[in-house]
Amino acid sequence: MNRMLFCGLAALVLAGCSAREAAAPAAPALESFATARQVMLGLTIPATDVVWGVGNETPADDAAWERVAANALMVAESGNLLLTGSRNPQQADWTEMTHEMIKYARAAAEAAQKHDVDGVTEAGDELYNACDSCHNKYMPAKAAELAGAAAE
Ligand code: HEC
């Protein structure tokens, strides 16, 4: 075998990537710094609070609506963080529930772009269910509480 070709193939195998990925410029290596809990505390919770706040106080102007839409998208981006690195426990339901969260966060952002209070509120309710479903299983204190209640 041609030596260059062999080295190329060996590099592909070592990198564990497909030929298609290898053709694209190398993606920058990602390093994770926060646990799932820290993603919640630092990004998901404060961003969701802004989305849920719309039901209590209608955003006053375009800038306020833009801020709601941006925060809804930060909830969605926090989902991307939950799917990466050691934060993802590699369970299918974790991925599914995170995709639900992303879906409704994006719906809330779309509604905010249209200045649609009801749309944001409805998406916000669905979002709540997505958060809750993951906590029922993956938030240790809550999962233990539910297991206790089920055993009673
Ligand atoms: C895919 C799983 C998952 C999803 C989806 C998720 N969370 Fe969490 N959340 C966690 C985990 C894991 C923890 C940390 C549990 C622990 O270690 O105590 C947590 C913790 C929390 C806490 C408790 C923080 C504290 O003070 O102890 C809150 C509040 C929270 N999440 C809010 C949200 C909100 C709001 C959403 C939806 C917009 C959401 N979470 C979606 C997994 C998830």
Judge whether 27 and 75 are in contact, CB under 8 Å: no
- Quick one: 72 and 144 in the same domain? yes
Q: What is the pLDDT of residues 88-122, one digit of tens each?
A: 999 999 999 999 999 999 999 999 999 999 999 99
Q: In the 8-state DSSP scheme, what is residue 16? A: T
Ligand 1 centroid distance, CA of 35 (Å): 11
- Quick one: 25 and 44 in the same domain? no
Ligand 1 centroid distance, CA of 27 (Å): 29
Tokens read off for 120: 């944001």
Mean pLDDT of 32-50: 96
Judge whether 55 and 121 are in contact, CB under 8 Å: yes
* Secondary structure of residue 26 in the 3-state scheme: coil
Which structural domain, as residue segments, surrounds residue 143?
36-151
- Quick one: 16 and 72 in the same domain? no
| pLDDT value for 39 | 97
Taking the model in full, what pTM does it have?
A: 0.84
Ligand 1, residues at Cβ distance < 6 Å: 36-37, 40-41, 44-45, 48, 75, 82, 94, 97-98, 101, 127, 130-131, 134-135, 138-140
Residues 150 and 152: their CA atoms lie apart, in Å, by 6
Buried b (16+ CB within 10 A) or exposed e, 82-97: beeeebeeeeeebeeb
- Quick one: 122 and 47 in the same domain? yes
Ligand 1 centroid distance, CA of 126 (Å): 15
